[in-house]
Structure 1
Amino acid sequence: MRKKSSGPVGTVPPDAAGARTPGPAVSGAAHGDWLTLGRDGRLSLYAPTEGGLLRWTETTVGGADWNGPHLVPGAGLTHLTVVQGDDSYVHFLGRRERVGADGARRVDVVHAIQYQTGLAFTDWRSLGNPHPDREQGLLLGPPVGAVASDGSVHVFARGAHGGLVLRREAPNGKWRAWENLQGVGLSPWPAPVALAGGRIEVCVDAETGVFVWRQLEAGGDFTGPRGFALRPAPGTVAALETGPEQATFFWTDADSGAAVSWRAGGWPTPLGGSPAQRPYATLRTTLDGYDCLVLAYRDPDGHAVFGVGGVGDEGNGLWWYALTEPCEGSPALARDGRGRVVMALIDPDGRPRVARQEPGTGLSLGPWSEL
């Protein structure tokens, strides 16, 4: 069973006049689903900071006011990934680097959970390092995650030798040993997707193209890697379920600089747009009665861009909208408790900002609010 005892969560205190004093600075955007919708209908936003992470939470469903920032201590985190399961639990995966009493640096992967919106986290739990050799362990990439439909957490990372490693929960809630899924020359950012039927697939760009691993059945072993001679721009791959048991992967094409969508066994479909700098944020939603795809990314000029198109109709391209808002890292996308699309970003000064879908046809975003 997962341990539900909670670690400390602190709020940046007000000063004597009642105004909020400056808190720890945001150090960039997290990886993954760092804007999440809780079971109670409220959104939460998470961002890394020196010594841990910061959390903001809506005070009411779909409202304009947010509580926070709340500091969740986590010393030594060099990367932070956020992933949410169907049960609404939010999982936090960190690559932690510490210096021991002997002065040597050591790296491990840590995991914490938030079970309810706005409440405390569990303690950080170490998942170890797949490499017994300390020097090799320092080469471990940042962890990314996917949560299967049964709630089991799967943690992927690039190993010291350039292949893919995995640690995952067993059905009884205990963690299995690290698994070596092979591969070579991988980028640091695997793109896993948890499908509604319980399987997980993962795509990673590499020096020689693209590798894909997939489960043939829920909870089963991963087959692969299967290689494809394709040319994603390094570190731009993202994943989304676009139909029953159908994983679609998105990346920037290294030759054209445009976004593409791709399903294993087919050819990449051009989507237009400008080159992305990091993995795309992805969202599937209903707009004007149609099943739609929304992508968002940071362009080469440092501004947020989003695109909208029909799910399964990517051949007609996406409608792209370049925003004037600068951002650090990838934006995040979610639906709020009223069903509206929300985009979040971290501005160059380390301030989280959000904008919501405005009434009307199509998708247009309203004014940006600073948290």
Structure 2
Amino acid sequence: MRKRSAGPVGAVRRAGPGDGGRERGVVPAPAHGDWLTLGKDGRLSLYAPTDGGLLRWTETAVGGPAWSGPHFVPVQGLTDLTVVQGADTYVHFLGRRERERADGGTGVDVVHAIQYQTGLAFTEWRSLGNPHRDPAQGRALGRPVGAVAADGTVHVLVPDAHGGLALRREAPNGKWRAWEDLSGTGIDTPPATVSLAGGRVEVCAATASGVLLWRQAAPGGDFEGPRGLALRPVPGTVVALETGPERATFFWADAGTGGVGAWREGDWPVALGGAPTGEPCARLRTVVDGYDSVVLACRDRDGSAVLGVGGTENEAAGFWWYALGESCRGVPALARDGHGRVVMALIGGDGTPKVARQEAGSGLTLTRWRSLED
């Protein structure tokens, strides 16, 4: 694995009275991606965007239940924040940033920062630029998403102004390659990415007419595709999870049935039920009662959080949904804590982060919700 330099660090401080609404840790909506992460030391961290930057909460001990925070990380101009974690446990932050240009117009670029250790400072926010040189086209750039390959190589993907997909990734020497055009058409929402244990990365993007899929033929290689698939996801709802050796399953909100759908190479699509909004599901692979299982979490049409559980690559045998009786904003997050228990996080209807943890015993039952502001 390539060695990284910690580099200059950005400020991380306790949010205080001078931070407006940040002293209470209230956020308008969650970040995108995996915004609940498990560090190498076994502690969970939760990240959420706020005015002028982002907020971070961290477990004070492995398995909780207490959390420290919120701690405020300043970064001006972010319109979107995506969190992605690699197998090395480093947490990467990708943002779409808007700033005033010298000519008075608005400039847009993609920025990136890293947190190497739980609860410690970030690196500086580095600009990755914009695939478009024309400022007007650059302002049409979409929200970036990321994937960290098994060797630690960071991949940044973003819908461009032409309805295609742009890629920027690290080179073997740690420097960033130039922007690459992966082509495609009709893409106006961020794609889904999956980093497979064998080192390859796959990317899936939904359009109004179907799905486009890109795959690396070998770790670190070029992306093949796009290949068109006759699936009907709601654009912006596709997520991916490695469910077998070098094999990904894709989940989405289905435009035809209104429920959640699942598909992987070599199988037919399967309807999983549920009633999601036009947002993606959080996803996690874990063991429940001794069975390899997939857990999904999303917000249903009445704004409440729901949890779904089924056998890994055995969706046709049944997928069970449970209403959790808690309103939430945006997409929940799922992770395992330092003791291997499933933890679900959400941003409550009042803008306060909350978590619930898997209880001991059979099945997947969650504890009562704990506000991180308690």
Q: TM-score, normalised by structure 2?
A: 0.96
Q: How does 1:1-371 map to 2 (within 5 A)?
A: 1-13=4-16, 22-23=23-24, 25-371=26-372
CA distance in 2, matches of 1:173, 1:263: 32
Contact 1:272 1:317 in 2 (8 A): no
Identity %: 66
Residues 290-316 of structure 1: per-residue CA shift (max 9 Å, x gap): 111000111111111110011011111
CA distance in 1, matches of 2:25, 2:70: 9
User: How many Å apart are 1:265 and its aligned residue?
Assistant: 4.2
Residues 101-148 of structure 1: per-residue CA shift (max 9 Å, x gap): 321001000000000000000010000000000000001000000100
Instruction: Kindly provide the amino acid, as one letter, of the partner of residue 94 in structure 2.
Output: L
User: How many Å apart are 1:233 and its aligned residue?
Assistant: 1.5
Shift in alpha-carbon separation, 1:24–1:43, aligned structure 2, 3 A: closer
In the comparison of the two structures, how many residue pairs are matched?
367
SS for the counterpart of 2:136 is: helix
Instruction: Kindly provide the amino acid, as one letter, of the partner of residue 257 in structure 1.
Output: G
User: How many Å apart are 1:95 and its aligned residue?
Assistant: 0.2
Residues 127-180 of structure 1: per-residue CA shift (max 9 Å, x gap): 000000000000100000010000010001100000111000111110000000
User: How many Å apart are 1:275 and its aligned residue?
Assistant: 2.7
User: How many Å apart are 1:22 and its aligned residue?
Assistant: 2.7
Instruction: Kindly provide the amino acid, as one letter, of the partner of residue 136 in structure 1.
Output: Q
SS for the counterpart of 1:366 is: coil
Residues 313-349 of structure 1: per-residue CA shift (max 9 Å, x gap): 1111311001211111100000000110000000122
Shift in alpha-carbon separation, 1:208–1:70, aligned structure 2, 3 A: same
Q: TM-score, normalised by structure 1?
A: 0.96
SS for the counterpart of 1:241 is: strand
CA distance in 2, matches of 1:254, 1:67: 41
CA distance in 2, matches of 1:23, 1:74: 19
Backbone CA RMSD of aligned residues: 1.5
Contact 1:326 1:347 in 2 (8 A): yes
Residues 188-247 of structure 1: per-residue CA shift (max 9 Å, x gap): 120000000000001111011000000010000000000012111121111000000001
Instruction: Kindly provide the amino acid, as one letter, of the partner of residue 8 in structure 2.
Output: S
CA distance in 2, matches of 1:260, 1:147: 25
Gaps of 5+ in 1: none
SS for the counterpart of 2:346 is: strand
SS for the counterpart of 1:83 is: strand
User: How many Å apart are 1:24 and its aligned residue?
Assistant: 5.7
Contact 2:157 2:168 in 1 (8 A): yes
Instruction: Kindly provide the amino acid, as one letter, of the partner of residue 295 in structure 2.
Output: V
Contact 2:6 2:116 in 1 (8 A): no
